[in-house]
């Protein structure tokens, strides 16, 4: 209910501001021709709408982890204010300094609005690029995060088992701690090594409940996991 009331109030404020703009132009039109007067009202309304837009439809989405709109916010406001200042300057110069014809003013304002649209297209592409980078970085980290999860699951299973050899526990702790030295990368080979590592650690976790019977296989898999880790560590971010 509060959200609807706030939206209703904002809409009323928007209409009130628009009414003030129209009234001001009608009261102080002077000798302006009707067609130029209407053009000025339209341009002023566009500027007002652009500046009011963030109140009705917030540009920044706080739930968007990629922050694509935050990254393009400065660019969007740059184009908005550039258009607003230039359009107001054209109205002042065209109406008071040189008394440009309606056709000339219409062409200039259409050109400015077209440039504004191009600017907004650039803003959208900029936001999409930020999102693409975020998604790629997230993908690059997923394998490493899964490796760490597999190691944590193995350690959780170890904590409930008595009489595990001390050297084995030390190796697992060392291997888990070493994962922080791995760099995220787009390299396909690195992603393959990450999945191999996870499978080997899961095999160890499956066999460790009966360590005495599976000691040889567990030891072999642990060495294999260490080799895979070293191979993955040698692949840096590109």
From the list 78, 87, 120, the residue with the least C-alpha distance to 106 is 87
Asked whether 126 and 77 are in contact (CB, 8 A), the reply is no
The whole-number average pLDDT for the span 153-169 is 84
Residues 199-219: pLDDT tens digits? 999 999 888 888 888 888 988
The whole-number average pLDDT for the span 24-49 is 89
Helix (H, G, I), strand (E, B) or coil at 57: coil
Average pLDDT taken over every residue of the chain: 84
């Amino acid at each position: 209910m509060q959200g609807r009331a706030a939206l209703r109030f904002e809409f009323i404020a928007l209409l009130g501001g628009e009414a003030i703009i129209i009234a001001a132009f009608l009261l102080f039109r002077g000798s302006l021709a009707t067609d130029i007067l209407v053009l000025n009202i339209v341009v002023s309304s566009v500027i007002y709408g652009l500046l009011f837009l963030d109140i009705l439809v917030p540009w920044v989405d706080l739930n968007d982890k990629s922050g694509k709109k935050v990254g393009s916010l400065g660019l969007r406001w740059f184009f908005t204010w550039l258009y607003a200042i230039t359009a107001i300057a054209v109205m002042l110069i065209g109406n008071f300094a040189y008394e440009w014809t309606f056709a000339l003013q219409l062409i200039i304002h259409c050109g400015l609005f077209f440039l504004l649209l191009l600017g907004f297209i650039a803003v959208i592409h900029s936001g999409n690029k930020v999102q693409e980078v975020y998604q790629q970085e997230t993908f690059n980290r997923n394998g490493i995060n899964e490796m760490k999860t597999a190691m944590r699951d193995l350690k959780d299973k170890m904590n409930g088992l008595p009489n595990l050899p001390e050297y084995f526990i030390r190796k697992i702790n060392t291997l888990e701690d070493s994962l922080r030295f791995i760099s995220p990368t787009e390299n396909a080979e690195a992603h393959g090594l990450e999945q191999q590592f996870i499978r080997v650690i899961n095999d160890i976790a499956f066999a460790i409940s009966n360590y005495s019977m599976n000691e040889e296989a567990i030891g072999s898999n642990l060495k294999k996991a260490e080799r895979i880790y070293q191979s993955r560590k040698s692949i840096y971010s590109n």
